[in-house]
Structure 1
Amino acid sequence: MSCHNEHTHSHSHSHSGDDSNNDHVPPIPTSSAQDLSKYIDTPRLTALNSDVPNSELSKLFIKSESEGGKYSLKSPVSSDLDAQLILNIPFTGYVKLYSIILRTAGDEEQCPKEIKVYKNAKDVDFDNERKPQFTITHPQIGVLADDGKDQDLDDSNFVEHHLPRSSFQSTTNLTLFIQNNWADDEDESIKIFHIELRGQFQSPLAKEPIITLYEAAANPADHKNLIASVNKNYSSI
């Protein structure tokens, strides 16, 4: 078992309409080898009510040592006008999702509480009434405002949320709708430092068919008839 599995908080007290009866079933352990970050279509990441442009959302998924690794306390992605945030995460293929690992702020004003999880629903907005495939209750665990750099190399502020595997097969797009914070203060901004998605890659997306228009080849007979018609009209002048 990896160090991450031994120390990361693992939570299964989430719920959904179809899988609520499975809340007390022990989740299947995951490993870092199931990280799906290389299958995220990062140029197409989008967010609603984010304080950073879409082009900077990829920092949430960075793990490479050249970028400081997953433990590096990079600047978070925060909600902008209130405590709600929507993240749309597209994949380059079909994946089975097993779990979502989050590193958030730990202060009650900035720590996400309820997170709705949608599969293949790219049109979710803040007025959306669509039923999610799953709902996460994220605990008040995360990076505290007074954490120093010497405290970053630690798994204790990462939380793994296990998903009902039957509900997240053939996933091409994942949407996370963060609805509130632990302070229930809509004027505060929630903060996310890192996201890791674990699962299994299934197959690449089917390429869209390329439609090519070919110009019909010239018919020599048509060319001959055209010349004959022109000559006839010319001789009658």
Structure 2
Amino acid sequence: MPCNSSDHSGCDHIVDEGAEMSLYSQIDLNSTTCLNAENEESFNDIFKPWDDRFDTTKVLKSDADEQLIMYIPFTSSVKLKSIALLGLNDDSQPRKLKVYINRQDVDFDTVEGIEPTQEFECLQSCPQGAVPQYLTKVTTFTNIRDITIFVPGNFGADHTVISYIGFKGEYTEINRDPVITNYEIAANPADHKHKFEVKTKNLI
């Protein structure tokens, strides 16, 4: 549930100012997609190094309505521990996140019929200089190759605006080297039949 208390007790998020375990370098920025973005090319602008998390010069804005579907693949196998999200601290902030793991079939035609892996109620605003971290069920969020995030609505604005998304957790490099197998081919007597017959003929 949304939390406005100072201690955030009973919430599924924490306000975390650290950069430990950032998975920014593991995002496959060449393969991300976003549905209903005003400018799809702006999607990757919200994935930023931790030091640039408060930069709002480049943001992601929804187009036709307030909904967004964001697909984020990773270059490694990931254990995801939290998702960080920042907007503009106003009504355009996402109200809820629905997260799906290891699925590439989530779009606006299918999303309502697919059970999310986990849902998060988002903060409309947070203290200056802090970033909400929405905590995952770590036992479920393991061996992740990609996640899809559905934003079904915001706090009342016509469009949703996101300035930063970050991920924290652990990752394991995926071995992409080709596997080379050597086969030992047994000699086939039929392959040498002609030579044997020629040699025998010469001896007659």
> TM-score scaled to structure 1, two decimals?
0.65
What SS does the corresponding residue of 2:20 show, helix, strand or coil?
A: helix
Partners of 2:36 and 2:177 in 1: CA distance: 31
Aligned pair count reads 178
> TM-score scaled to structure 2, two decimals?
0.74
Partners of 1:11 and 1:120 in 2: CA distance: 31
CA contact (8 A) 2:72 2:146 kept: yes
Partners of 1:112 and 1:118 in 2: CA distance: 17
Percent identical: 26
Partners of 2:8 and 2:166 in 1: CA distance: 13
Partners of 1:52 and 1:61 in 2: CA distance: 15
Q: Gaps (5+ residues) in structure 1?
A: 1-8, 15-25, 144-153, 212-220, 222-237
Match of 2:66 among 83, 93, 98: 83
Partners of 2:44 and 2:159 in 1: CA distance: 20
Q: Gaps (5+ residues) in structure 2?
A: 1-6, 181-191, 193-204
Equivalent in the alignment of 2:140:
167
Amino acid at match of 1:193: S
Amino acid at match of 1:118: Y
- Residues 170, 105 of structure 1: CA spacing in aligned structure 2 closer, same or farther, 3 A cutoff? same
1:63 Cα offset (Å): 1.8
CA contact (8 A) 1:12 1:162 kept: no
2:30 matched to 1:70?
A: no
CA contact (8 A) 1:117 1:132 kept: yes
Which of the two has greater helix per residue? 1
1:57 Cα offset (Å): 2.0
Equivalent in the alignment of 1:141:
125
1:71 Cα offset (Å): 2.3
2:164 matched to 1:194?
A: yes
Match of 2:108 among 97, 106, 126: 126
Partners of 2:25 and 2:18 in 1: CA distance: 15
Partners of 2:54 and 2:120 in 1: CA distance: 23
1:11 Cα offset (Å): 8.2
- Residues 138, 77 of structure 1: CA spacing in aligned structure 2 closer, same or farther, 3 A cutoff? same
